[in-house]
Structure 1
Amino acid sequence: MPLYWAFSSSLEQGSILVGTCTPLFCKNPNTAMHIVLLSDKYHQPGASAGVTAMLAEGYAQQGHRVSVITSHRSEEESTIRNQDYVISLPISYSLKLRHYKCLKQKHVSRMLDDVFRELRPDIVHAHNIHMYLTYDALRIARKYTKNVFITMHDAMNFNYGRLNTKRFLDSEGKDVRTTPLDHIRQAGLQYNPLRNCIIRHILRKNVVKVCAVSHALKSALDVHGIPRTQVVHNGIDTNFWKADRKGAQRFRKKNRFEDRKIILFGGRLSRDKGSTPLLHALNRVRALVPNVMLVVLGDPKRWKGLLQEAHVPANLSAQITTIDWLSREDLRAAYSAANVVTTPSLCLDTFNLMNAEAMACSTPVVGTCFGGTPEVVKDSATGFIRNPLKTEEYAEALVTLLADDTLAKHMGEAGRKRVEKKFSMEKCVETYLNIFADSLNCS
């Protein structure tokens, strides 16, 4: 049944303007669960937002009612947006206050209370809510259903940024402990000494399960006292992410890469994503593979800064191309055109969807030893796992795949099979639905 709203322009009241919000797709209303997903961002670039959208579609395909609560900036529009099954709340503040505002904002809580009162969900499945929707959303959700879950996609529930401490890097990702001093170094004057305690309290009191997208992340959550954790690996649409040979040819021709050996690298470009070790490795690789081309997917201006801080020979830039933005179809073509995809992160990179997407497109991956990548990329089977800080070993792995087309093809095919078996959207959706059903049966 459509939900009728009347949102006013008053953010403090969060009241309603006439409109409808129809939950997404419902095959059988007698047996379907009404699942409400929470995510600060939705249908926007970024792993967690994309995973949330995929799950919404997957839950609906299995016959369940789906609604999504997300956010937009109030300076863009000061009223609640209500389109199809997505309800977007207007939320803005100075991000300098995020480590306080992420816990609770009174006007946001009032809007959420109104929305949940109308939706009356059976299941609430939260994702990244640590910027706008706030952790108080979990308390409010618990008023309307006992079945509240959250999936952690990063370390922000116990850390103040990416987990990249010296002890973490020195231990090749095994030592995931952080200290208040680490937090102060990351947050500076924005440090909130009570934040982590409050987050743990909210989770203990209101959440049935805290799902982690990798065992690496679960280990870190456990060390930091996050309760009731369980691993659910991310999944991808394997019907879409598959080798596109014609697209690969077009991509190579368009960018004049016909005679190049391509290393593909991308994501949110930063030093934590391994830009410096990648450039140092590339400098070694080109001596053995002169026609190598590093294709960087991301902001060219940001990449220029990372290139400068790496202190590599100036002429190395001749073997680097940056591409600012690609559609999903063009990204699939880029994966298919690449000889190897690399993800050399120097932080707790919890899953990295590039690993799974590249493997689904039958392209081998040279991935980092840090974080969840070793759970996705099987070392010496679907690619190689290396410590990017060990430049010689990292470069050698890249050269091996660039120089041996037969091995690269074999590993690429093995990667496709591995993703189909372990990291499909269907498997991910089924796992979550089983968790939800168990909770409903016990409540």
Structure 2
Amino acid sequence: MRVLHVNKFLYRRGGAEGYLLDLAELQRAAGDRVEYFGMDHPDNASPLAYARFFPSQVELEPVARGLRPRVATAARMIWSPQSRRGLARVIDDFRPDIVHLHNIYHQLSPSVLAAARAVGVPCVLTLHDYKLACPSYQLLDRGALCQVCVAAGPLAAARRRCKDGSLAASALLAVESWLHRTLRAYDPVQVFVSPSRFLADVMRRAGVYPERLHVVNHFVDVAGLPVKDAPGGGVLYAGRLATEKGVDVLIEAVAALPDGVPVHIAGDGPARPALEELARRRAPGRIRFHGRLGKTELHGLVRACAVVAVPSRWHENQPMAVLEAFGCGVPVVGTDLGGLPELIDAGVDGEIVPAEDPPALAAALGRLLADPARSRAMGRAGRAKVERDFTPAAHLSRLRDAYALAAATVAR
């Protein structure tokens, strides 16, 4: 099978990109031919066979200054002829059996779907966030949990100014989503893949192609992945450093942990400078920021720790950080939002705590740090879970079913 993966970024920027790249490796190992289409970016993996056809790089944060750049950026978010032309040329040369899309919003736009529909190539889209139900992606209104647009529609985002309190930014996102919904820009997608039941339920309530939704869990490949074999260790957060991830809550919790507990933060993102400053003030000398790590180095750091923290203040979908921690035999403390309670069995392979609650997070982390035998047993339970329920073979089989359904739908 010839699979073309489409995502705006083609480097390990976050969980969506990590999943995409790992899936591509899995498919190649199974005998598929795999290629990529995305936005031109200096951090993209290389070499990429079709990089010459990628649309130019555009940065949305910070917002470009000046009226003309802002208008151009807004137009590209809604419909990008450059992206459509580029994907059309890749399809013409590569001739994929399936176009598997991931995060295409803003930098690519759903114009890429028109390129696939024009030549009758079936499309599957994996949902990594809530964009099709919530114009600002995250079911957040200026940092607070919100699902108003799920029922009221995307234009509510403009009225509420939910994007950073800005009427202009909120209105742009609202109009973008409203136009895409009104023009049925996502009609060329035959199958929408949701990694979590929570996300699928949100999409159904928002009326996002409910008859095309299929829940397919992510996977973790534990073949050759060692399990933590030494007791003890500290706390690790691994992921994007952005406000919704709640890393500031973890830093506040660290102040309540015993002295000498090492705390590691792996990843990068726009919130890093503020988080480093907060760490200097609230937990001086106790937190190490590692930046973005390669997968092998990250797994080694996971195994060196006693527990992984996922302190999110937004409704996580199905974060790879949890599955990879379990794969390394390390328990997870996560919040009670989104798909996290679907992954973590409290008291078995981790703990669930309320979001935005540093004392509760500190208490849960402290219990595992104080009882290495319990922590190790939970980690082993997590490893058993992913070996049973999140295997590459099962994921690939379910995904091939989704591909076959998309192809059959196009052929009708």
Alignment partners' CA distance in 2, 1:222 and 1:382: 30
Deviation of the 1:94 alpha carbon: 5.6
Deviation of the 1:341 alpha carbon: 0.5
Asked if 1:61 is matched to 2:37, the reply is no
In the alignment, which residue of structure 2 is the partner of 1:254? none
Contact 2:191 2:405 in 1 (8 A): no
User: Which deviates further from its counterpart, 143-152 or 346-355?
Assistant: 143-152
SS at match of 2:325: helix
Amino acid at match of 1:370: L
Contact 1:37 1:66 in 2 (8 A): yes
In the alignment, which residue of structure 1 is the partner of 2:66? none
Contact 1:150 1:207 in 2 (8 A): yes
Alignment partners' CA distance in 2, 1:108 and 1:175: 28
Amino acid at match of 2:177: N
Contact 1:340 1:401 in 2 (8 A): yes
Q: Deviations over 1:242-301 (max 9, x none)?
A: 3265xx89xxxxxxxxxx740111321133211232223222222xxx332221223599
SS at match of 2:3: strand
Q: Would the alpha carbon gap of residues 343 and 185 (structure 1) be closer, same or farther in structure 2, given more than 3 Å must change?
A: same
2:2 counterpart (28, 34, 38): 34
- Give the number of equivalent residue pairs: 387
Amino acid at match of 1:91: S
Contact 1:177 1:220 in 2 (8 A): no
In the alignment, which residue of structure 1 is the partner of 2:141? 165
In the alignment, which residue of structure 2 is the partner of 1:306? 275
- The share of aligned pairs that are identical, in percent, is 25
- The answer for unaligned runs of 5 or more in structure 2 is 64-69
Alignment partners' CA distance in 2, 1:90 and 1:125: 18
Q: Which has the larger radius of gyration?
A: 1
Contact 2:2 2:97 in 1 (8 A): yes
In the alignment, which residue of structure 1 is the partner of 2:222? 238
In the alignment, which residue of structure 2 is the partner of 1:25? none
Alignment partners' CA distance in 1, 2:148 and 2:270: 34
Contact 2:149 2:156 in 1 (8 A): no
SS at match of 1:118: helix
Contact 1:67 1:86 in 2 (8 A): no
Q: Would the alpha carbon gap of residues 88 and 346 (structure 1) be closer, same or farther in structure 2, given more than 3 Å must change?
A: farther
Deviation of the 1:241 alpha carbon: 4.0
In the alignment, which residue of structure 1 is the partner of 2:240? 268
In the alignment, which residue of structure 2 is the partner of 1:105? 80
In the alignment, which residue of structure 2 is the partner of 1:383? 350
In the alignment, which residue of structure 1 is the partner of 2:67? none
In the alignment, which residue of structure 2 is the partner of 1:281? 253
User: Which deviates further from its counterpart, 297-306 or 131-140?
Assistant: 297-306
Amino acid at match of 1:109: R
Q: Would the alpha carbon gap of residues 129 and 241 (structure 1) be closer, same or farther in structure 2, given more than 3 Å must change?
A: farther
Q: Would the alpha carbon gap of residues 309 and 285 (structure 1) be closer, same or farther in structure 2, given more than 3 Å must change?
A: closer
Asked if 1:72 is matched to 2:40, the reply is yes
1:292 counterpart (256, 261, 270): 261
SS at match of 1:362: coil
Deviation of the 1:402 alpha carbon: 0.7
In the alignment, which residue of structure 2 is the partner of 1:320? 287
2:56 counterpart (77, 84, 91): 91
2:189 counterpart (207, 221, 232): 207
Per the normalisation by structure 1, the TM-score is 0.78
- The answer for unaligned runs of 5 or more in structure 1 is 1-32, 250-259
Q: Would the alpha carbon gap of residues 242 and 182 (structure 1) be closer, same or farther in structure 2, given more than 3 Å must change?
A: farther
Q: Would the alpha carbon gap of residues 44 and 264 (structure 1) be closer, same or farther in structure 2, given more than 3 Å must change?
A: closer
Alignment partners' CA distance in 1, 2:52 and 2:4: 10
Asked if 1:129 is matched to 2:104, the reply is yes
Deviation of the 1:240 alpha carbon: 4.8
Contact 2:4 2:37 in 1 (8 A): yes
Alignment partners' CA distance in 1, 2:268 and 2:330: 23
Contact 1:234 1:423 in 2 (8 A): yes
Amino acid at match of 1:208: Q
CA RMSD of aligned residues (A): 3.1
Amino acid at match of 1:162: Q
Alignment partners' CA distance in 2, 1:93 and 1:301: 16
In the alignment, which residue of structure 2 is the partner of 1:47? 15
1:144 counterpart (103, 106, 119): 119
Deviation of the 1:163 alpha carbon: 2.4
Deviation of the 1:308 alpha carbon: 4.4
Per the normalisation by structure 2, the TM-score is 0.83
